[in-house]
Amino acid sequence: MSELTDRGKTFRAAIAGFIEARREAKLKSKADDADTASKYDYATWLADAARRVGQIQAVTHVLKATHPDARGSSLHVAPSQLPQHVEIGSHLLGSDYAEDVVGNAAALDVFKLLKLDVDGRRLLDWAQAGDADLQAALSDAAEQAQGWMQAFTSLVREETQPTSHPMAKQLYWLAGENPQDDAQYHLLQPMFSSTLAHAVHADIQAARFGEINKEARQARRDNKPGEHPYRDYRGLVARKLGGTKPQNISQLNSERGGVNYLFASLPPPAWAPRQGPDLRKLDSVFDQIRGALFWFGEVREHLQVLADFLKTNPDQNKETRDRVAASVQAIGQELAMFGTAVQGRYPAGWTRDADCRLPRCEQLWLDPDRTELPLREDADYPQWHEDDVTFQQAYDRGDWADEVATRFGLWLNGQLRKRSDELAVLGESEMRHFARQAILDVAWPIPLQRRAKAGAA
């Protein structure tokens, strides 16, 4: 009998601890039951486990989830072996997935043993790798230890000839061109991916009951900034599989209490965003009364949050400055999205319209693609050509961004004064900083490209 290595001792200690815990749980209500206690001897229990492991099977796709009386084959297909489609499916799980187990529920304790983690891997993984230390830890008799190792690795096995069953849902799929020719149909059996259902269930549970999302939900209710995004799944349906005995379907189904969530089968929402006023008829998007920015996105909400905070007359310290800067930055981000939305709504060159009354700096910000259009040439309207040249020159100088940022700062302070005359005026430098960033992020790449072309010429 060879001496166990340190790793071998670690394996044996983990296995012995598992068996002892099972023994104590079994004998908890039975005093001095020698016959039952003997079944939990190390070698006796492992021998019985090696015999019973054939009654269960590790799978990824469970047949009985389709119908509890189906008697066909469940399958074990690693997600990485599946076709990599663009649609959401089990293939997206990669190597991070939970294996399910089907078969005799009375033998599930064997799977729990094989899931024990030792040195960062499951006993099942070490067994499949043929680990010598694990084999030695199973039994001092080499032949017996080898037999038990082979038995445990058989938990993951492929069906040589997968079978279906009348209770399994099936459908005929036309693989050819002639729907009247029965030979051109394939009979398909959709399989329930328990591994995908388990991953989805875990994510939904974390969104519904997880501490992180609880904090995010409370911050949303209090209209306060939060450290984490808030997630919510609406219109869910919980389908119970297995009734009062979910373990009869599979092990993971039992862990989920038989609950398998279904998303609402609805078409994507047809967003119909408010178009807002025609910008060509405005004197400025920063008009205090009719300005388009005020009605965009979540600008009003951010303004109210900032105003409510300033009304508390907070102390002039770093925390206050950071809160104010965060609110101004959030409005600045809305400013950037506003610019992007305008560029998506209007065609390039829309500021050429004779009715456009926006200041030149706002035209340069909101219609940057105009600089890429050919200059207008019309003998009857020479001012058109001159206006295009002036537009491009002004765009390349770039000082229009500072002008827009200044207008934004005046508009923001004006909005705060409308909510309370007592609110302090915000520092111009911070507002100009975030506004200029938001403006240039949307519009600045075009002149850089055009300057590069000019330099190369």
Mind listing the pLDDT tens digit for each residue in 103-158? Answer: 888 888 899 999 999 998 899 999 999 999 999 999 988 899 999 999 999 998 88
Residue 260's φ and ψ, nearest 5 degrees, are: -130, 115
Q: Are 446 and 371 in contact (CB under 8 A)?
A: yes
Confidence class of residue 29 from pLDDT cuts 50, 70 and 90? low
Q: How many CB atoms lie within 10 A of CB 106?
A: 11
Q: Are 253 and 246 in contact (CB under 8 A)?
A: yes
Is 310 exposed, middle or buried (CB count within 10 Å of its CB: 0-12, 13-18, 19+)? buried
Please determine, for residue 408, whether its predicted confidence score (pLDDT) is greater than 80. yes
Range list of H helices, 139-290: 142-153, 194-209, 211-221, 251-255
Distance (Å, whole) CA 127 – CA 132: 9
Radius of gyration of the chain (CA): 34
Distance (Å, whole) CA 372 – CA 343: 14
Distance (Å, whole) CA 44 – CA 38: 8
Of residues 423 and 368, more confidently modeled: 368
Is 367 exposed, middle or buried (CB count within 10 Å of its CB: 0-12, 13-18, 19+)? buried
Please determine, for residue 31, whether its predicted confidence score (pLDDT) is greater than 60. no
Closest CA to 193 of 250, 268, 126: 250
Closest CA to 54 of 163, 161, 153, 164: 153
Closest CA to 365 of 321, 401, 393, 397: 401
Confidence class of residue 286 from pLDDT cuts 50, 70 and 90? confident
Please determine, for residue 270, whether its predicted confidence score (pLDDT) is greater than 60. no
Please determine, for residue 208, whether its predicted confidence score (pLDDT) is greater than 50. yes
Q: Are 20 and 37 in contact (CB under 8 A)?
A: no
In this prediction, residues 206-233 reach a mean pLDDT of 85
Q: What is the mean pLDDT of the chain?
A: 84
Q: Of the ranges 83-97, 316-330, 412-426, which one carries the lowest mean pLDDT score?
A: 412-426
Distance (Å, whole) CA 191 – CA 91: 14
Closest CA to 144 of 47, 44, 3: 47
Distance (Å, whole) CA 199 – CA 221: 28
* pTM for the model: 0.55
Q: What is the pLDDT of residues 36-87, one digit of tens each?
A: 778 888 999 999 999 999 999 999 999 999 898 888 899 999 898 898 888 8
Q: Are 251 and 194 in contact (CB under 8 A)?
A: no
Confidence class of residue 445 from pLDDT cuts 50, 70 and 90? very low
Three-state SS string across 105-145, please? Answer: HHHHHHHHHHCCEECCEEHHHHHHCCCHHHHHHHCCCHHHH
Confidence class of residue 454 from pLDDT cuts 50, 70 and 90? very low
Please determine, for residue 201, whether its predicted confidence score (pLDDT) is greater than 90. yes
Q: Are 58 and 156 in contact (CB under 8 A)?
A: yes
In this prediction, residues 24-37 reach a mean pLDDT of 70
CA angle at 283 for the pair 279 and 288, rounded to the nearest 5°: 95
Q: What is the pLDDT of residues 251-269, one digit of tens each?
A: 999 999 999 998 888 776 6
Domain map (residue ranges) of the chain? 6-153, 192-262, 279-456
Distance (Å, whole) CA 260 – CA 239: 5
Q: Are 330 and 356 in contact (CB under 8 A)?
A: no
Residue with tokens 């051109």: 184
Distance (Å, whole) CA 399 – CA 388: 17
